[in-house]
Amino acid sequence: MKECRTYVAWWATGSVTVEQHAYRQAAAAYLRELLLRPGRYRRKWEQYAERSRPGQVNQLAVAEVLARYRWSHPRERGDSDVLPRQLKDTVLRALSGKMLSRATLSLFVDAFDFTEADTDRLRRLAAGSGRISVLSGPRAIRPDAIADMAELFGPPRTQTVSLHDHISTGADGLVSRARTLKVIEAIADGVDRIPFIYDTDALTLEVGQGCKGVSGQLHQLREDIFTTEILLAKTLSLGETLTLEYWNSFHYRDDTPDERKREYRRVSIRRAENFDIRVEFHPERLPRHVWWAVWDGMDGDVITEEPVALDSQHSVHRYIRSLERTVVGFHWAW
């Protein structure tokens, strides 16, 4: 099987392979994340933006930052006279993943004065570090289900800054409980709830930190997709963040062997940063084999997988820099 991890790196010139294209896309995604993250990087370009849309980088404003840096730190002839609009294509190619050269990356690092840690992470990504990965796929669920959710909940009002899943199996070998810890950021004013989407009706949802309760309204979008809403402990203003914690307990109606009882998947419809997943197996029922896998959407088969070994705590773990329009997780065999 082809290894499922997509490492972030691309410096080569000449012909571009499918993997190299994926590397560039992932590197660009992390650069966009830095520029969109609330803080001084974002403030640096926003001061030149005539208008700013949530979740989008104003390319001309970023070009203004790069141009001003080159004015005060000329390296080549013409740097002192370069116009922001002349750098807009450079910004477009970098943020879209079409082209991200060493020189362009260095310009972004210097112009925005990235911290040592952010710079190191960017360079490790660009060098193809196997410890950081980004997954972006063509789809997570069918377009009709996405349309139904958009009609039900409206446009997105939050984005996920970090997401941690800790899953436990019981002595019977079935997934019994999943703890989720996530940090969200409001991309609109007056956010007081978030959608909760799941693919089984045999589940108990318990909320904790950052959550006031559950709406109690259950919607069935498809035969296998259900939604409700988690009510937040406070109403968020634009740019405000909140840490949420909740638990899912799973119930099984029968003992019929089913592949879906031997897996745990995370469906990412929209972009989610800093995803961490851990599955801990009961010591009385340890699997013979475990694979980290990527699925072709909720309805599709495994498209890539990679065998992984249990650690001393009978668990497997994976960290992903970001997820978008993909389905990932672990599956196992007894």
> For residue range 151-199, what is the model confidence (pLDDT) as tens digits?
666 788 898 999 999 999 988 888 888 999 999 999 899 999 998 877 6
Total-model pTM:
0.61
Q: Is the dihedral of CA 5, 33, 208, 140 positive or negative?
A: negative
Cα distance between residue 137 and residue 299, in whole Å: 14
Question: At 11, is the pLDDT very low, low, confident or very high (cuts 50, 70, 90)?
Answer: very low
Which pLDDT belongs to residue 181?
A: 95
Q: Are 128 and 256 in contact (CB under 8 A)?
A: no
Is the confidence at residue 302, as pLDDT, over 70?
A: yes
In the predicted model, is pLDDT for residue 148 greater than 80?
Answer: no
Using 50, 70 and 90 to split pLDDT, how confident is the model at 101?
Answer: confident
pLDDT at 257: 64
Listed residue (295, 249, 267) closest to 198, CA to CA: 267
Give the pLDDT band of residue 87 (cuts 50, 70, 90): very high
- Is the pLDDT reported for residue 140 higher than 80? no
DSSP code for 127: B
**Per-residue exposure over 203-233, b if at least 16 CB sit within 10 Å of its own CB, e if not:** eeeebeebbeebeeeebebeeebbbbbbebe
pLDDT, tens digit (0-9, with 9 covering 90-100), for 198-226: 765 456 788 899 999 888 677 777 666 77
Average pLDDT over the chain reads 80
To 10 degrees, what angle do helices 18-36 and 116-126 make? 170
10, 69, 94, 121, 130 from 99: Cα distances, Å: 9, 20, 5, 19, 21
Is pLDDT above 70 for 146? no
More reliable by pLDDT, 143 or 197: 197
pLDDT digit string, tens, across residues 50-81: 887 777 899 999 999 999 999 999 888 888 88
Percentage, residues of the chain above pLDDT 90: 38
Specify whether the CB–CB gap between 330 and 290 falls below 8 A: yes
Q: Tell me how far CA of residue 44 lies from CA of 15, 25, 112, 199, 314, in angstroms.
A: 35, 24, 7, 42, 46
**14-19 mean pLDDT:** 46
Q: DSSP letter for 38, please.
A: T
pLDDT of 126 higher than 70: no
Task: State how far the Cα of 205 lies from the Cα of 214, in Å rounded to an integer.
Answer: 8
Query: What share of the chain has pLDDT > 70, as a percent?
Result: 78
Query: Cα(first)–Cα(last) distance of the chain, in Å?
Result: 20
Question: Angle at which helices 59-72 and 84-96 pack, to 10 degrees?
Answer: 120
pLDDT confidence bin for 137, thresholds 50/70/90: very low
Set out the domains of the chain in order of their start, with CATH numbers: 18-131 (no CATH), 136-333 (2.60.40)
